[in-house]
Amino acid sequence: MAATSLSEKLKNELAGFLQNQRSPELLAAYLFFLEKRFALSPVVFVRDKVVFASTDQAVKRLEEQQKLWHRTEIKIGYGPPTVNEQSKKIYICPFTGKVFADNTHPNPQDAIYDWVSKCPENTERAGGVKAKRFFVSEDPEVIKNYIQPLKEPITKTVFSSAITGKLYNSKEAVIEDFKKNYLKPMTLIEVQNQNRFQLDEEFLQLIQSHLQEDKIASFVEALAEHEQFHGFVAKWVEED
């Protein structure tokens, strides 16, 4: 049986834990030791009712099971240009350059009135309200300046959350959202004392490998070598 070693830092953490317990039990002390010794930070994924050894382990396992994110493609389309070669008359906002043409809008004059009356760049006032000033042109050379080439739709790879279906620009963003909103931290003692959630297979194997009589006995022997733990050890031995 391999001897259990206790660093000075771990001894101090154990001493603080035991002193803060009304009636410290051996199993609770041993689970606290395991949590600190192996830097475990259990988290539960409440939706699937699964407990993982740590946040990183949860991400790793769910990625392996393809339960965290999916790669997908979206098309980013562009509407037809507001002015084209067939436009004969255009209405122009003097404050922003917004333009409406006679052949691409069903009612361009009403549209430009509505636009300038709400335009945030329009600071001109007439009778206490925004001025309805705009330009009109039928000059082909002026109209030509407002013709924009038609843009083809582009395809972009994005990532969707397997939990919510929401789209994110990168898988890292999906993972950060998952860590922030879908994992709940637990202590190893809380994990042991509950029956609502199942343990991830790898986490369960880790716990079972250490919850063995010889390893717990080695832990008690290690504590017995330090005077500050003698009272606790004596109580556990008496109860055994």
**Residues 131-165: tens digit of each pLDDT:** 888 999 999 999 999 998 877 778 889 999 999 99
From 77, 110, 144, give the residue that closes a domain.
144
Global model pTM greater than 0.85: no
Q: Which residue has the higher pLDDT, 222 or 181?
A: 181
Average pLDDT of the segment spanning 35-60: 94
Structural domain contains residue 100: yes
pLDDT digits (tens, 9 = 90+) for 64-114: 999 999 999 887 766 778 899 999 999 999 989 899 999 999 999 999 999
At residue 1, the pLDDT reads 46
Structural domain contains residue 197: yes
If one counts the domains in the chain, the total is 2
What is the span of the domain harbouring residue 233? 8-42+186-239
From 79, 113, 144, give the residue that closes a domain.
144
Structural domain contains residue 119: yes
Structural domain contains residue 118: yes
Structural domain contains residue 57: no
> For residue 5, what pLDDT band results from cuts at 50, 70 and 90?
confident
Structural domain contains residue 102: yes
Structural domain contains residue 150: no
At residue 174, the pLDDT reads 95
Q: Can you give the three-state secondary structure of the chain, one letter per residue?
A: CCCCCCCHHHHHHHHHHHHCCCCCCHHHHHHHHHHHHCCCCCEEECCCCEEECCHHHHHHHHHHCCCCEEEEEEEECCCCCCCCCCCCCEEECCCCCCEEECCCCCCHHHHHHHHHHHCCCCCCEECCEECCCCEEECCHHHHHCCCCCCCCCEEEEEEEECCCCCEECCHHHHHHHHHHHHEEECCHHHHHCCCCCEECHHHHHHHHHHCCHHHHHHHHHHHHCCHHHHHHHHHHHHHC
